Structure 1
Amino acid sequence: MRNPTFHDIETIGHVIDENVQYIHYHYPEMLIRYDSNFIDFKQMPSLEEFKQTETFLKDFHQKHNQTHLKFEFPENEKPRPGLQKYFENNGYDIGLMELYAIQPNDFPAQQENPDIRVEEVTEGNLNDFISLQYETDKQNGETFANEKMKLNQKQFADENYMKVLAYYKGETAGTMNVILSDDFVEIDDLSVREARRRKGIGGQLQQFIMDGFQGRTIILVADGEDTAREMYQRQNYQYLGFKYEAQRIDSDDIFVKSRMQV
């Protein structure tokens, strides 16, 4: 079985242009989802090449009333000092993503807790899932929350996705999106209601996937500057690589990002 790379991580967005230097993703269905509207460099650009691409993306986004710029860089390569200095001087936030993988049998067994119930989302509990996700997504604005609700409904009807919902003492407490591919099972957008954190809900959500996909490699992307990555390491996830990103927002919009929140 081959090792996963960042190419195996799902990108919600349409490839509208690809050349030897980069891939351009655009998602008109959700223009304010920054992780769906960006340029992914296939090779590390020089400063001049980056500036040219930056001008192109800025013009493109302005035509679509988008106020952000986002770029991702080749896997396991750090932007050169000249690029980093340019980012610092021009209002970019630099992010570091880390790729992790685990075999289900290596995940530490979670202690059973009768207060926690984890279920796959069906027609019967879809409204519970949508409502909790909406509550969480409203932190990024109502427009984003409404568009995310439509995305969740679209994914629910797609056999390549699984939605998972956790209850704590009968009340909705956590959600998780799962992307199914031929080779891997990706955990994404794992979120636990703030008042219910540190009760083992995140672990039980993951355990549900470990139990359901024995023999498959489970993958996820973590924020390289977030303490949650330490939790994944304690849970026996194996670090596989990193990827840098640079993002700038030219308005008061809230930074919208879909990664694990435990």
Structure 2
Amino acid sequence: MSKATPVIWTSAALRWAAAGIVVINGFFPAVWILFTSLKTETELVQKPITWWPDAPTLENYIKAFEDQPLLHYLKNSVIVATGATALSLVVAAFAAYAIARLNLKHRQLILTCIVASSMFPLVTLLVPIFETMRALGWLNTYAALILPYVVLNLPVCTLVLVSFFQSIPRDLENAAMIDGCTRMGALWRVVVPLAAPGVFTAGILAFVNAWDEFLLALSLNSSPAVRTLPVGISLYQGEFTFPWPIISAALIVAIVPIALLIAAFQERVVGGLTQGGLKG
């Protein structure tokens, strides 16, 4: 055995250990919430703590749908997140194409400003956004959340798409325009399809951000008719009670759509993040 062999084994062990820590850190909370959602209140507070439920029950899920209109909140979240994602991708595609293809002055400064705009804490933007929505008469509407979410998602979506658009040869667009395609036609028929991994990556990021957002959803939409899932889940807590099993069941309902979405587009998202990092 050569002297390099122990070093190789040590390096591999450290990599596996680091990967294990990341996996545990990412999955353990979700697994614990799942186990909690299957326990009764009595079992949850008993000592010593039980990891796996002694008698798994779905009663908490039934109560979660009975105590609050969870399906209605779920529908509202789907509408808001889908609308914000679609509009974010359209606007980001135009912005990314202009930065990647047009002869803009101070292009690097523009990219710097885009990155800087995403660094403002959301709480500092809450009052201006609230006043703007109130002036427009959009409070307690889907638009009150969709438009701010688009603004918040634009920096990351634009940066992801810029890196992909820059990697596509200009000759493909020129050939399309020679054949009679307009510049806008070349964007939507040539550039966007070729940048599909980046589009999927930006779309997933935008959807997750809109799905999980709480502060704006709580502040701009107080009406139950347009209340989204994160705000709805917070209502399970009473003045003197905190029903953890029911809240955990509601959280699992909120997690499942995102998990299915990421699982369905896993290869495209991972490929998009990897290629975007290499091409950027």
Give me the TM-score of the superposition, normalised by structure 1: 0.24
Higher strand share: 1
> Which has the greater radius of gyration?
2
User: As a proportion of its length, which structure holds more helix?
Assistant: 2
